[in-house]
Amino acid sequence: KPAKYDPSFRGPIRNRSCTDIICCVLFFVFILGYIAVGILAWVYGDPKQVLYPRNSTGAYCGIGENKEKPYLLYFNIFSCVLNTNIIAIAQNGLTCPTPQVRVWGLPLSLDLPPGSGYQPLSMPSAPSALGVALVLSLLFILLLRLVAGPLVFVLIIGVLGVLAYGIYHCWEEYRVLRDKGASISQLGFTTNLSAYRNVQETWLAALIILAVLEGILLLMLIFLRQRICIAIALLKEASRAVGYIMSTMFYPLVTFALLLVCIAYWAIIALYPFHTSWLGTRLLCRPPQEQVNSSCPGLMCVFQGYRSTGLAQRSLFNLQIYAVLGLFWTINWVLALGQCVLAGAFASFYWAFHKPRDIPTFPLGSAFLRTLRYHTGSLAFGALILTLVQIARVILEYIDHKLRGAQNPLTRCILCCFKCCLWCLEKFIKFLNRNAYIMIAIYGKNFCVSAKNAFMLLMRNIVRVVVLDKVTDLLLFFGKLLVVGGVGVLSFFFFTGRIPGLGKNFENPQLNYYWLPIMVSILGAYLIASGFFSVFGMCVDTLFLCFLEDLERNDGSADRPYYMSKSLLKILGKKNKGTPGDKKRKK
């Protein structure tokens, strides 16, 4: 049922109470236990495991008899990434299945011969490329209020043009192969997929698929043009909201700092393995003296690993699993906090009738304090649900990794289906949580009620949801492509020395391996663009839910005026017959 009119509602509820108190208490108790695990790791751990690397025999590099060999050489560094997962780290610590040797210096030394003309990368150069990414992202979001409409239609026409060219190319290939008589009946079945490019049926099938997609897109443009215009108007309104509340663009820095704390704390627990010195469980590599003097002069003691059985080891493994659960739960809670805070700030913008006069003085700070004070438990509840699904996915990946060599086709198919189902479930829960946090920020109700209200509201407007989601995804994808591509091209010309000069105090670096700083710049630009556009995406989602609530609660009369912008009213063919103050002035 649509939401009913509430005469007392004027934006995010201020007089609210704490929600999901039981989950809040559970979360704090869990955090206390998480701190206790960290204290155990610190008290019983071996700091050398963090400060010094170890080779394949377990010997430390850079101390004792190996003081002159401070470096560790991995024979295949990629195996460390490909064969390591979070459960394995919890069980065995951070290990790498490749030979590791102590060396006195790196084989690929970065020491450059004098007079070579090459110099190390100057520190200001990479941050300058990242500064360009920050400016481009901010300008793109702020300029959307002016160019959102033309840009969306240009992108849609571009997609139509790409599909049209694909149809033309498939037809040309099909016509040539048809004239040659190349048919799939002559080829037969083969595992060489590239061979199918030389048969006419392949290009005919691709032509049909592209033609169907082109037709569907054209029909959507014809019948959903009003909803596309609504989506464009909401994008413009979101750009306007970000312009009025500029502090929201820098809130990802707070999220990033909190995430860094969560990851660093877990890393200390995972990389500070206290099983090496706790209860004397390390297997020492010291053969008895009488064996050394026996008839086997070549007798040796080879380090194999640490004891993995026994009560102490089982307890340690359980504590590491507890730490993994803490990592996922705290990270998801931090992300939920950011979404709820931004939703509260942007909801304050939408429900301000006279903008910017009625916008609160500090909307972001007020939303942050309000969320922490009243809704820590609700955020922990939503984060816990998502964490359990993610832990299930990690366990499934671990099982798949362990049984990879002994799997038959049926087992592979079953595991693949389970992984696909859990992936879909995680995506759905993220979608539900995101909208639930918006409703929590506006109305201050508990997680379950907010999730139900948000889901029902979206289901009553499912077509608008799909159109807005796809238009926003298309626009933000283009924005990321613009920022990352621009920074990538600029950094390529800069690091390869193709820019003549940028001033007296800034010289172009000459590098042996310029692709590394280029890739670092591109990665940094992507992270910066993702941070900015995540704020903008949250703004669009919040304004959209507020817009749907506005349509259901109000009718445009003096008692129940619409809070949406004039452009949205014009698209919908509606208008306000008065303002909230008109009735009071008449009295």
Q: What are phi and psi of 246, to 5 degrees?
A: -65, -25
Average confidence (pLDDT) per 10 residues, the chain, 587 residues: 68 84 95 89 69 66 70 62 56 58 49 43 56 83 82 85 90 83 64 69 87 90 84 88 89 92 86 49 46 58 54 68 92 95 93 86 92 94 95 88 74 87 94 94 93 92 87 84 85 73 49 73 86 89 91 84 86 75 47
109 is written with which tokens? 């030394």
DSSP string, 306-359: ----SHHHHHHHHHHHHHHHHHHHHHHHHHHHHHHHHHHHHHHHHT-SSTTTTS
DSSP 73: E
Per-residue b or e along 400-435, where b marks 16 or more CB atoms closer than 10 Å to that residue's CB: beeeeeeeeeeeeeebeeeeeebeeeeeebebbbbb
User: One-letter amino acid identity for 490?
Assistant: L
The identity of residue 470, as a single letter, is K
pLDDT at 531: 85
> For the whole model, what pTM was predicted?
0.78
Q: What is the pLDDT, as a whole number, of residue 289?
A: 47
Query: 3-state SS of 93-139?
Result: CCCCCCCEEEECCCCCCCCCCCCCCCCCCCCCHHHHHHHHHHHHHHH
Q: How far apart are the first and last CA of the chain?
A: 34
Give the residue from 566, 583, 484, 463 showing the smallest Cα distance to 527.
484
Q: Report pLDDT for 411.
A: 81
